[in-house]
Structure 1
Amino acid sequence: MAGRINDDDIAAVRDRAKVEEIVGSYVSLRRSGGSMVGLCPFHDEKTPSFNVNPTRGYYHCFGCGEGGDVIAFVQKIESLTFVEAIERLADRVGIQLRYTEEFGPRPEPGQRMRLLEAHRLAAEFFVEQLTTPDALTARQFLAQRGFDREAAERFGVGFAPRGGRELLQHLRARGFRDTELVTGGLIREAGYDFFRGRLLWPIRDTGKSVVGFGARRIFDDDRVAAKYLNTPETPLYKKSQVLYGLDLARQQIAKKSQAVIVEGYTDVMAAHLSGVDTAVASCGTAFGDDHARLLRRLMGNHDAFHGEVIFTFDGDAAGQAAAIKVFNGDQNFVTQTYVAVEPTGLDPCDLRLQHGEAAVRELVARRVPLYRFVMTNILQQHDLDRADGRLAALREAAPLVASIRDTSMVSGYARELAGLLGMDPEEVRREVLRTASRGGGNSQPDPAPSPTRQDRTPSLPDPRDRSLSVERETAKLLVQHPGLFGDGWDGISEADFTHPAYAAVFGRVAKAGALVGTATGGDWVQQLQGIDPDPQVSSLVVELAVEPVYLQGQVTTRYVVAYSAKLQLLSAMRRIAELKSKLQRTNPVEEPTRYNQMFSELVVLESTRSKLQTRSLGALD
């Protein structure tokens, strides 16, 4: 039998490795009473059901049933044996393990631990090689892109010698077998190093362990024509599940609830050196669903104002195609998704080199919502000042909206499209529904015209519709805590609500408050129900009265003010988008008066937006 780890050492690892710290390095956790909650890393979910109890040292997911102590967590998430998990945690918390000899000598570490050690040594070897005379071309490549030695050391950039057997000999001398190194993707079966004569970047997992490498072609006589070459699929390296730079950006992504997706290794370097410390890049593959789930777990569950994923794309046709592909998978994110486009087509690396680090920060700051970027690119191809142009634009954009798999989001995108087109939202909604119902291209007749907003009974909104989450929370506060609102309902108006049912609820609240002179009576909900005979709105009032608000704890005036500002902020942003769209279609030379009036209004709205943004974060004026 093999040797075993001393029981006292196992107990010491359990005690010193705090479950909330270990889990928190993989999942964004927030305090909830005596526990901490987050999105489960073991199954896909959008509502947190994963609980960690620091006092007891255990975790449990009420969604999938996974649970256990800190050792079980590391075993599960890293696919380790019990011994490997203990060894990983012991290294992390600084415990020297003792092995009993009663059943034989200490066992050889498992395959995963061996491969991780080999990759660690390989990364150190490559870094050392970057300082050799043979790596002059590699150093020149970095220098030409604005990266000095300090930057190379910060990101662990290295160089693979051209001979083809140097790494193999280096790792053999340290006790590694050829079969292990082939399994790990460090050498080829023919007995040569996998990377030869290339500039290398180490790719690390969330635990900061090297699991693979990305390599850039720098010599014209390189036998491998591909500009970039990545570690092949191995027990450690799954390209669909790793992001370059995540080890550097992980804490800031969780802290800021922001991730900036760039396209290459040098772009990640340029972004971080410029102060954009949430930048990451996919490795040898397009950004996909697994990457999205990884980021979502790190950022946790946030509403539209407290989390964002920003993609950097070129403004050319390829960049627009990439944006549309991301748009189709946008529902993978709980956060808002944005696009940062450099008009000149420069990537972050070249942008930093030509215009400085401030330009990279400005690129990210100029981000625009993804759906607006995609829609705008479609609409710019049509003359929106003509009725037939708007109709043609609608017919081209409607299939994009209809293709969204999350049906609860379709209505929100349809409303945004209506605003960009300057068309009736009902007309746009009908076109989207007709497009969705075509199936294999079979056309369907237009549905009968809907009654006007004043004449129809508004349908009940879907409580899961994230695009209406701010409207719903504000409506709940109006029904449940009307006395916490200031004069004039903190500036809220019926026009701030895009869904007619929520607007109708506010109409009742405003009317009932005016009738009784106060909004704090014990029969408040009954008063709201009696204002109007519409049963749909009355039903919604009751629903809002019993549904818990997001805040866990006592609702305060500050919370009410923040949500009132959020609602008005969305309204202001819609108006800003409409004005920008009109400004783009207005010639300042031919219509200077109209253009200047709209521009002045835009300046005022931007100032209002800034103030509302501050208030929406909980800071009162």
Structure 2
Amino acid sequence: MAGRINDDDVKAVRDAVPIDAVVSEYLQLRNAGGGNLKGLCPFHDEKSPSFQVSPGKGLFHCFGCQEGGDTIAFVMKIDHLSFSETVERLAAKAGITLRYEEGGYNPSHQRGERIRLIEAHQAAAEFYVRALESPEAEIGRAFLAERGFDQDAAAHFRVGYSPAGWDHLTRYLRGKGFSDKELITSGLSQDGRRGPIDRFRGRLMWPISDTAGDIVGFGARKLRDDDNGPKYLNTPETPIYKKSQVLYGIDLAKKDIAKASRAVVVEGYTDVMACHLAGVTTAIATCGTAFGNDHIKILRRLLMDNGSARVIFTFDGDAAGQKAALRAFEDDQKFAAETYIAIAPDGMDPCDLRLAKGDDSVRDLVEPRTPLFEFALRQIVGRYDLETPAGRAAALDEAAAVVAKIKTSSVQREVAVQLAGLVGILDQEFVVHRVAQLAHWARSKGGDHGDRGGRGGPQGRGSRGGAPQQPAPAPAPGFSGPALNLRSPAHRTERELLKLALQKPALVSPAFDAYGVDEFTAPPYAAVRQCIEEAGGAEQGIADNREYLVAVMDAAPDNTVRNLVTELAVEVFHGRIIDETYAGMQLVHVRLRAVDRRIDDVQGSLVRLGSHVAPQDLAAAQNEVWVLQQYAQTLRAHGAAAL
């Protein structure tokens, strides 16, 4: 068994890998103010960004789903890794050699499954690239050359060749220390009659990477007539490869997609290559499956779902391409981006178009022209005879049901008016009413459970402007006692003070550390105060804020408290100027309310006991009330100086 990773090495990894650099591999981040960044949460669907990253603290937190933590926690969750796998992966990126408590330096057999499988794919990719230079691979080089791809293009996209023998790659990877079980699990090998054999043989190979840039699978194109397999053969489903969750070229395109707020969806590997070489560096493709919901989630995080973003689908002009376009339109409402379709003249794909007419023609092709909904409606209406009343009625019935799925009412009405023109019905209001009626029926049947990532909100097509509101913190379900009420001045002030203790401990130390847990009336806030105490107090955060925050999170009894800690550690302050004066006000308000509560408690006890109270107890209680009243008066007069 692997030993425990040395704590100092874990700290070194956490400090060496900036959280914003890691998160940016999966989604687009924008300035959120106060030194924070924001983006669309990768852990749940949302239409407005509530996911925040604090580079200075090394933390992330989503105010929508309450997920939060440091760099290690983010990678663990998004890539489904164990703690040790995550640390090993980040250490490899940072060039840090890990030590294990039982001795030894990062032996390969100690690495987790995902890392081993990715390493196997990386080694396989290098093997395939070298094999493309062999005499046997001449047929593969010729295939590329015929499609306009030279040696530099092949190298840029890491295109390779799988030798035609039974077990060339299998023997190579065995020599690299990979077990037969790992080779079968990875999908690089498959069971043969005498043991594992290569899955891909005699084919041109494209490596498929995830958003982080790790190779997780391959797409293989057959080259010889005697190959009885399918034209394209992809890696099967494995622990690291899910075809519905990968996009070919996303590792190369993601930065430009985020920068340009535009993505071009093409149909094949060579189409991606052709687009990128022609200057359309936002092109990506699915891998042996239709463009679906998981692909949309990937793009939405990169596009940030702003209203000016565009997604352009390129499909062949044949029946299959038209069918694919209609299928894409079914998911159109899951984008906030505008969606368009581009069909090349003569039904050519981008690769053929580049060969026939050059790079300019490819760039011109993907300039948005036809909205996807308009194309979809034309395809539907075109199947009917519009010269007859029955044909127009049938076309309206099918197309209106599609328009009724549009969630934003203003857009729905606009498209309904266009539909009236397409069908040839002069009474536009009749068509608008019909669409609205169908939409109402769909909702009444339970088809609409709220807009989750659609266009019904401020980021949708119906409303372009306006900044998203600061998300309201969600209640912490794991606590007993009254729910948080941020309209309560007490809860609001307690929250600000905890934020100061976590984010700017120097402003509230050492006074804060003298505050009792019972001075925080909201149970969730009392739990966070307890965590700070167990971490050594806020004063610990002055020297090393990151390690202090890690210690506070480690002290949390469960994920509910831990998530609240990260939430408070990244949330912006309500005040404009955060200085000693502001911090002193929060300290005084929390203490004053605690003093007033104690006075009320003592006086209430005296009232309840009435004449039954013993004289000595009465004198002690009256003295306590007097002392507390004097303290409260001093606090009101002198502020933080009286603490």
Query: What TM-score does the superposition give when structure 2 sets the normalisation length?
Result: 0.66
Cα deviation, residue 317, structure 1: 2.8
- State how far apart, in whole Å, the 2-side matches of 1:438 and 1:111 are: 49
- State how far apart, in whole Å, the 2-side matches of 1:105 and 1:30 are: 36
- State how far apart, in whole Å, the 1-side matches of 2:26 and 2:295 are: 13
Structure 1's 464 and 7: CA in aligned 2 closer, same or farther, altered over 3 A? closer
Alignment of 1:87-486 (within 5 A): 87-101=88-102, 108-190=110-192, 191-224=196-229, 226-303=230-307, 305=308, 307-379=309-381, 393-404=395-406, 410-418=412-420, 423-435=426-438, 466-470=460-464
CA RMSD of superposed structures (Å): 2.9
Amino acid at match of 2:234: N
Answering whether residue 75 of structure 2 is matched by residue 74 of structure 1, we say: yes
Amino acid at match of 1:71: I
Amino acid at match of 1:37: K
- State how far apart, in whole Å, the 1-side matches of 2:459 and 2:140 are: 51
Structure 1's 403 and 169: CA in aligned 2 closer, same or farther, altered over 3 A? same
Matched residue, 1:44: 45
- State how far apart, in whole Å, the 1-side matches of 2:147 and 2:105 are: 55
- State how far apart, in whole Å, the 1-side matches of 2:172 and 2:314 are: 39
Cα deviation, residue 2, structure 1: 3.4
3-state SS of paired residue (2:61): strand
3-state SS of paired residue (2:181): helix
- State how far apart, in whole Å, the 2-side matches of 1:275 and 1:105 are: 42
Matched residue, 2:18: 18
Matched residue, 1:593: none
Amino acid at match of 1:270: A
3-state SS of paired residue (2:346): coil
Q: In the alignment, is the contact (CA less than 8 A) between 2:312 and 2:368 conserved in 1? A: no
Cα deviation, residue 339, structure 1: 0.3
Post-superposition CA distance 1:182-226 (Å, at most 9, x none): 0000100112100011111000011111100000011111132x1
Post-superposition CA distance 1:80-124 (Å, at most 9, x none): 111111111122223233334459995611111111111100000
Amino acid at match of 2:8: D
Structure 1's 274 and 103: CA in aligned 2 closer, same or farther, altered over 3 A? closer
Cα deviation, residue 464, structure 1: 5.7
Q: Could you tell which deviates more after superposition, 170-179 or 48-57? A: 48-57
Q: How much identity, in percent, do the aligned residues show?
A: 54
- State how far apart, in whole Å, the 1-side matches of 2:73 and 2:99 are: 20
Amino acid at match of 2:216: V
3-state SS of paired residue (2:431): helix
Matched residue, 1:56: 57
Q: Which runs of 5 or more residues in structure 1 are unaligned?
A: 440-460, 475-621
Structure 1's 313 and 463: CA in aligned 2 closer, same or farther, altered over 3 A? closer
Structure 1's 465 and 137: CA in aligned 2 closer, same or farther, altered over 3 A? closer
- State how far apart, in whole Å, the 2-side matches of 1:105 and 1:296 are: 37
Amino acid at match of 1:286: A
Matched residue, 1:537: none
Structure 1's 37 and 149: CA in aligned 2 closer, same or farther, altered over 3 A? same
- State how far apart, in whole Å, the 1-side matches of 2:225 and 2:20 are: 50
Amino acid at match of 2:433: R
Q: In the alignment, is the contact (CA less than 8 A) between 2:336 and 2:461 conserved in 1? A: no
- State how far apart, in whole Å, the 1-side matches of 2:74 and 2:306 are: 24
Post-superposition CA distance 1:405-456 (Å, at most 9, x none): 77785334324434655744422112224555788xxxxxxxxxxxxxxxxx
Structure 1's 462 and 322: CA in aligned 2 closer, same or farther, altered over 3 A? closer
Post-superposition CA distance 1:484-542 (Å, at most 9, x none): xxxxxxxxxxxxxxxxxxxxxxxxxxxxxxxxxxxxxxxxxxxxxxxxxxxxxxxxxxx
Structure 1's 325 and 104: CA in aligned 2 closer, same or farther, altered over 3 A? closer
Cα deviation, residue 321, structure 1: 1.9
- State how far apart, in whole Å, the 2-side matches of 1:355 and 1:102 are: 62
Cα deviation, residue 379, structure 1: 4.6
Q: In the alignment, is the contact (CA less than 8 A) between 1:28 and 1:38 conserved in 2? A: yes
Structure 1's 163 and 6: CA in aligned 2 closer, same or farther, altered over 3 A? same
- State how far apart, in whole Å, the 1-side matches of 2:86 and 2:106 are: 19
Q: In the alignment, is the contact (CA less than 8 A) between 1:2 and 1:105 conserved in 2? A: no
Q: In the alignment, is the contact (CA less than 8 A) between 1:412 and 1:468 conserved in 2? A: no
Cα deviation, residue 72, structure 1: 0.8
3-state SS of paired residue (1:188): strand
Structure 1's 416 and 222: CA in aligned 2 closer, same or farther, altered over 3 A? same
Q: In the alignment, is the contact (CA less than 8 A) between 2:99 and 2:105 conserved in 1? A: no
- State how far apart, in whole Å, the 2-side matches of 1:438 and 1:311 are: 31
Q: In the alignment, is the contact (CA less than 8 A) between 2:97 and 2:105 conserved in 1? A: no
Structure 1's 105 and 32: CA in aligned 2 closer, same or farther, altered over 3 A? closer
Structure 1's 104 and 355: CA in aligned 2 closer, same or farther, altered over 3 A? closer
- State how far apart, in whole Å, the 1-side matches of 2:42 and 2:433 are: 39
Q: Which runs of 5 or more residues in structure 2 are unaligned?
A: 443-454, 468-643
3-state SS of paired residue (1:189): strand
Amino acid at match of 1:148: D
Matched residue, 1:28: 28
- State how far apart, in whole Å, the 1-side matches of 2:105 and 2:13 are: 23
Q: In the alignment, is the contact (CA less than 8 A) between 2:19 and 2:55 conserved in 1? A: yes
Q: In the alignment, is the contact (CA less than 8 A) between 1:2 and 1:104 conserved in 2? A: no
Cα deviation, residue 178, structure 1: 0.6
Amino acid at match of 1:189: D
Q: In the alignment, is the contact (CA less than 8 A) between 2:384 and 2:395 conserved in 1? A: yes
Matched residue, 1:596: none
Cα deviation, residue 252, structure 1: 0.6
Matched residue, 1:527: none
3-state SS of paired residue (2:227): coil
Cα deviation, residue 390, structure 1: 6.3
Structure 1's 433 and 126: CA in aligned 2 closer, same or farther, altered over 3 A? same
- State how far apart, in whole Å, the 2-side matches of 1:276 and 1:268 are: 9
Structure 1's 357 and 89: CA in aligned 2 closer, same or farther, altered over 3 A? same
Cα deviation, residue 19, structure 1: 0.9
3-state SS of paired residue (1:466): coil
Structure 1's 24 and 469: CA in aligned 2 closer, same or farther, altered over 3 A? same
Q: In the alignment, is the contact (CA less than 8 A) between 1:3 and 1:104 conserved in 2? A: no
- State how far apart, in whole Å, the 2-side matches of 1:96 and 1:334 are: 44
- State how far apart, in whole Å, the 2-side matches of 1:255 and 1:108 are: 39
Amino acid at match of 2:82: T
Query: What TM-score does the superposition give when structure 1 sets the normalisation length?
Result: 0.68
